[in-house]
Amino acid sequence: MLFCSRLASLAPLALACALFAQPADPVPALLAQMTVEEKVAELTQRGGGEPLGPDPAANARELDKLLVQARAGAVGSYLGACGAAHTNRLQAATLERSRLKIPALFAHDVIHGYRTIFPTPLAESSSWDPDLAERTAAVAAREARAGGVRWTYAPMVDIARDPRWGRIVEGAGEDPRLGALFAAARVRGFQGPTSADHAAVLPADRLLACAKHFAAYGAAEGGRDYNIADTSLLTLRQVYLPPFKAAADAGVASFMTAFNEVDAVPATASTFLLRAVLRDQWRSPAVVISDHSAVSELVAHGVAADRRDAARLALRAGTDIDMACDAYADHLAALVKDGLVPMPDLDAAVERVLRLKARAGLFVDPMTDETLEARVLLAPEHRALAREAAVRSMVLLKNENSTLPLKPGLRRVLLTGPLADSGRDILGTWAALGKGGESVTPLAGLKPLAARASFDLRHEPGCKPAADDAAALARALDEARQADVIIAVVGEEETLTGEGRSLSMIELPAPQQRLLEALKATGKPLVVVLMIARPLALSWVADNADAVLIAWHGGTEGGSALADVLSGDKNPSGRLTVSFPRNPGQIPIHYNHKPTGRPNQPGNRFTTGYLDVPITPLYPFGHGLAYTTFALSPVRVASTVLQPGNVLTAQVDITNTGDRPGDEVVQWYVRDPVASITRPVKELLAFSRITLGPGETRTVRLSIPVAELAFLDASGNLVLEPGEFRLHAAGGAMRTPDVVLTLKPKM
Residues known to be catalytic: 291
Q: 133 or 743: whose CB is closer to ligand GLC?
A: 133
What is the spatial order of strands in the sheet that 322-323 belongs to?
Answer: 151-152, 105-108, 77-79, 44-47, 322-323
Q: Nearest approach, Cβ of 256 to ligand GLC (angstroms)?
A: 6
Q: 289 or 551: whose CB is closer to ligand GLC?
A: 289
Residue 40 CA to its chain's centroid (Å): 31
Using left for φ > 0, alpha for ψ between -120 and 50, and beta otherwise, residue 345 falls in: alpha
Q: Nearest approach, Cβ of 428 to ligand GLC (angstroms)?
A: 15
* Distance separating alpha carbons of residues 210 and 36, to the nearest angstrom: 26
| Phi, psi angle pair for 740, to nearest 5° | -95, 125
Q: 30 or 79: whose CB is closer to ligand GLC?
A: 79
Q: Nearest approach, Cβ of 501 to ligand GLC (angstroms)?
A: 12
Helices (H), 51-129: 56-71, 84-97, 121-125
Q: Nearest approach, Cβ of 672 to ligand GLC (angstroms)?
A: 35
Q: 153 or 165: whose CB is closer to ligand GLC?
A: 153
Q: 432 or 538: whose CB is closer to ligand GLC?
A: 432
Q: Nearest approach, Cβ of 354 to ligand GLC (angstroms)?
A: 22
Q: Nearest approach, Cβ of 267 to ligand GLC (angstroms)?
A: 12
Q: Which of 171, 250, 166, 255 is nearest to 210 (CA)?
A: 255
Q: Nearest approach, Cβ of 222 to ligand GLC (angstroms)?
A: 18
User: Is the CB of residue 301 less than 8 Å from the CB of residue 263?
Assistant: no
Q: Nearest approach, Cβ of 21 to ligand GLC (angstroms)?
A: 35
* Distance separating alpha carbons of residues 42 and 61, to the nearest angstrom: 25
* Distance separating alpha carbons of residues 737 and 541, to the nearest angstrom: 31
User: Computed over its alpha carbons, how large is the radius of gyration of the chain?
Assistant: 27
User: Is the CB of residue 532 less than 8 Å from the CB of residue 552?
Assistant: yes
* Distance separating alpha carbons of residues 364 and 673, to the nearest angstrom: 56
Q: 136 or 260: whose CB is closer to ligand GLC?
A: 260
Q: Give the Cα-Cα-Cα angle 621, 625, 630 (nearest 5 degrees).
A: 110
Q: 327 or 563: whose CB is closer to ligand GLC?
A: 327
Q: 365 or 499: whose CB is closer to ligand GLC?
A: 499
* Distance separating alpha carbons of residues 161 and 590, to the nearest angstrom: 6
Q: Nearest approach, Cβ of 712 to ligand GLC (angstroms)?
A: 26
ω into 588 cis (within 30 of 0): yes
Residue nearest to ligand GLC (CB): 153
Q: 291 or 672: whose CB is closer to ligand GLC?
A: 291
User: Is the CB of residue 332 less than 8 Å from the CB of residue 341?
Assistant: yes
* Distance separating alpha carbons of residues 166 and 147, to the nearest angstrom: 28
Q: Nearest approach, Cβ of 253 to ligand GLC (angstroms)?
A: 14
| Phi, psi angle pair for 665, to nearest 5° | -110, 105
User: Could you list the residues that contact ligand GLC (CB under 6 A)?
Assistant: 79, 109, 153, 212, 291-292, 499
| Cα atoms found within 13 Å of the Cα of residue 715, Cβ hemisphere only | 4
* Distance separating alpha carbons of residues 34 and 576, to the nearest angstrom: 52
Angstrom CA distances, 482 to 147, 377, 458, stand at 49, 42, 10
Angstrom CA distances, 174 to 250, 584, 592, 704, stand at 21, 16, 9, 22
Q: 79 or 526: whose CB is closer to ligand GLC?
A: 79
Please report which helix (H) or strand (E) contains residue 234, including its range: helix 233-235
- Give residue 137's identity as a one-letter amino acid code: A
* Distance separating alpha carbons of residues 453 and 463, to the nearest angstrom: 28
